[in-house]
Amino acid sequence: MLTKLSSSENVSVVASREQICSELQGEVVILDIKSGAYYGLNQVGASIWNFIQSPKTIKEIQDAILAEYEVEAEVCKLDISDLLEDLAAKGLIEVKNETSA
């Protein structure tokens, strides 16, 4: 579903409403209400998770992480893509293709 996220900067993502999350010492723990499974995100993942509580484009997420952390742009892009693909596969985010800018 998200195999082309790294090249689709206009795709919009938002955290699914079918979960409960809590911050613990700079990290985020997510409970998927449907499956009952828990997921944990490190500090950078937590920053992304908090940022996508309202719809954001991939470009907006990348720009925010690049502004907050010292990371090369290409590494950032790939890591964000991997995280979002994983979250989408688990049903923790909703992905929408934005055709109008």
Q: Which domains does the chain have, with CATH numbers?
A: 5-96 (3.90.930.60)
Q: What is the pTM of this model?
A: 0.85
Q: Locate the DSSP E strands across the chain.
A: 11-15, 19-24, 27-32, 38-41, 56-57, 93-97
- Residue 13 in contact with residue 98, Cβ under 8 Å? no
Amino acid code (one letter) for 13: V
Q: What is the pLDDT of residues 65-95, one digit of tens each?
A: 999 999 999 999 999 999 999 999 999 999 9
Q: What is the pLDDT of residues 33-73, one digit of tens each?
A: 989 999 999 999 999 999 999 999 999 999 999 999 999 99
Give dist(CA 17, CA 27) in Å, integer. Answer: 19
Give dist(CA 78, CA 4) in Å, integer. Answer: 11
- Residue 81 in contact with residue 6, Cβ under 8 Å? yes
